[in-house]
């Protein structure tokens, strides 16, 4: 059965595929100069992670303006590390550092009109809303700021809640020069971004993520949207922010469960494209769980560099960007099946990642050492490695059938293949392996 998806392949020699579509393999930190759908390359053709601080030879790339030593990742308060998302005239910076909400100029340079709407929730607002208002208005009396405070939780990521944002924007008579500001975790960022994309057919917005999940993943790359009762994130738009401001001090108030949830996405980057980063995580997960500032700063920065490079190469998820969804097809089925908000996104992705790795092993694409390492690091991060007991094979299949990666009725999956740091996005796999994985992890 030939796959209907478009694929890349990385192998030791430069060669041409046949005209029959072949699975596309992805490996650590692909350089856009060599990214071609009919070519395959060894890892030797791609830059080591540290070279991300330098411009790649293609005009489309992700770069970092300040390199961070992984074992001494210290920045002075208020001095950001900057990772750039290179999308031509829609490029934008990711500011990363401690105390950045105390630097008004960082936000103000990205506000072009006189009106701002902050979208936040009833958990984050008491902690950081006043600080963000001060940052937007300090020395800037011409700017007026409104806010809308939404209920907190994945179960509120829906059209009814989204309408509250539009209600406030219209009541406040905001115009096309206004700026929306997302202050919160992934739910707030996704909803605020979608509202910005739709209000008056598009207004500027800024991301201020306050969770690990949002800081390392969802705030970067312009994916916005809401859930539908039948599936997660099925309604939305690709819409890029003006900037992402990550004040790492906001993690000091993050609950332990939310902290751990975010590390599922950090682990993902190592598995699909950055083996050195995964090995660093294995050695430093305890420091991350203990909120060591240097370890957190490094993990956030390296995650953002990985995400930024992928987005710059494949903004609309035609191939490469889909690999960022390792474990998400299974994970989204868990979130939908148990009810939005019952399991945190990262918890579901963790269990989903174990299932994707199990299926990869059943297909003979990875060895058992990778299976064990994935299980071990997720346990270190206090994340689940099996789905909830309520999940059945039929529940998984019914939700996965409407997954965004389904093409012409064919479910495409992100699976690991080859050494650590390599993955494949394909619909060309033995269906028995999928069935066996589902039966191994859920009731018939």
Q: Which residues are catalytic?
A: 201, 223, 265, 307, 317, 321, 325, 328, 332, 345
The sign of the CA dihedral 251, 50, 79, 149 is negative
Q: 3-class secondary structure for 29-40? A: CCCHHHCCCCEE
CA distance 21 to 27: 19
Would you state the structure tokens that stand for residue 173, as one six-digit string?
């008579």
Dist. CA 421–CA 423, nearest whole Å: 7
Which residues does 100 contact at the CB level (< 8 Å), separation at least 6? 78, 80, 106, 245, 246, 247
The distance from CA 222 to its chain's CA centroid, rounded to whole angstroms, is 10
Helices (H), ranges, 32-124: 104-108
**Per-position DSSP letters for 260-303, written without gaps between them:** HHHHHHHHHHHHHH-HHHHHHHHHHHHHHHTT-HHHHHHHHHHH
183, 118 contact by CB (below 8 A): yes
């Amino acid at each position: 059965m030939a796959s209907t998806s478009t694929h890349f392949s990385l192998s030791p020699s430069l060669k041409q595929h046949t005209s029959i579509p072949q699975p596309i393999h992805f490996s650590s930190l692909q350089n856009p100069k060599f990214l071609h759908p009919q070519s395959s390359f060894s890892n030797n053709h791609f830059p080591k992670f540290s070279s991300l601080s330098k411009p790649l030879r293609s005009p489309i790339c992700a770069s970092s303006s300040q390199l961070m030593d992984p074992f001494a990742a210290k920045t002075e308060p208020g001095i950001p590390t900057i990772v750039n998302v290179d999308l031509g005239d829609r490029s934008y910076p990711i500011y990363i550092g401690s105390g950045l909400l105390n630097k008004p100029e960082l936000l103000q340079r990205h506000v072009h009109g006189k009106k701002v709407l902050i979208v936040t929730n009833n958990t984050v607002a008491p902690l950081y809303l006043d600080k963000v208002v001060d940052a937007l208005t300090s020395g800037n009396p011409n700017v007026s700021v409104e806010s809308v405070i939404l209920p907190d939780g994945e179960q509120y990521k829906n059209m009814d809640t989204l309408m509250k944002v539009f209600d406030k924007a219209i009541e406040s008579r905001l115009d096309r020069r206004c700026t929306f500001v997302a202050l919160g975790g992934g739910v707030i960022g996704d909803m605020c971004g979608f509202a910005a994309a739709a209000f008056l057919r598009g207004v500027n917005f800024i991301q201020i993520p306050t969770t690990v999940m949002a800081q390392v993943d969802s705030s970067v790359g312009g994916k916005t949207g809401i859930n539908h009762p039948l599936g997660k994130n099925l309604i939305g738009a690709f819409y890029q922010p003006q900037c992402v401001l990550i004040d790492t001090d906001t993690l000091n108030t993050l609950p332990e469960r939310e902290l751990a949830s975010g590390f599922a996405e950090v682990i993902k980057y190592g598995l699909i494209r950055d083996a050195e980063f995964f090995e660093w995580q294995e050695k430093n997960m305890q420091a991350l769980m203990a909120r060591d500032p240097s370890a957190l700063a490094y993990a956030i920065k390296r995650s953002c560099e990985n995400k930024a490079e992928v987005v710059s190469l494949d903004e609309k998820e035609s191939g490469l960007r889909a690999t960022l969804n390792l474990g998400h097809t299974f994970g989204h089925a868990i979130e939908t099946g148990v009810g939005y908000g019952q399991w945190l996104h990262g918890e579901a992705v963790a269990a989903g990642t174990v299932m994707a790795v199990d299926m990869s092993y059943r297909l003979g694409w990875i060895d058992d050492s990778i299976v064990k390492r994935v299980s071990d690091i997720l346990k270190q991060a206090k994340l689940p490695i099996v789905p909830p007991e309520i999940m059945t094979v039929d529940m998984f299949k019914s939700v996965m059938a409407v997954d965004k990666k389904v093409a012409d009725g064919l479910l495409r999956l992100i699976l690991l293949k080859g050494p650590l740091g390599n993955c494949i996005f394909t619909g060309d796999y033995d269906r028995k392996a999928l069935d066996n994985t589902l039966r191994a992890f859920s009731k018939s």
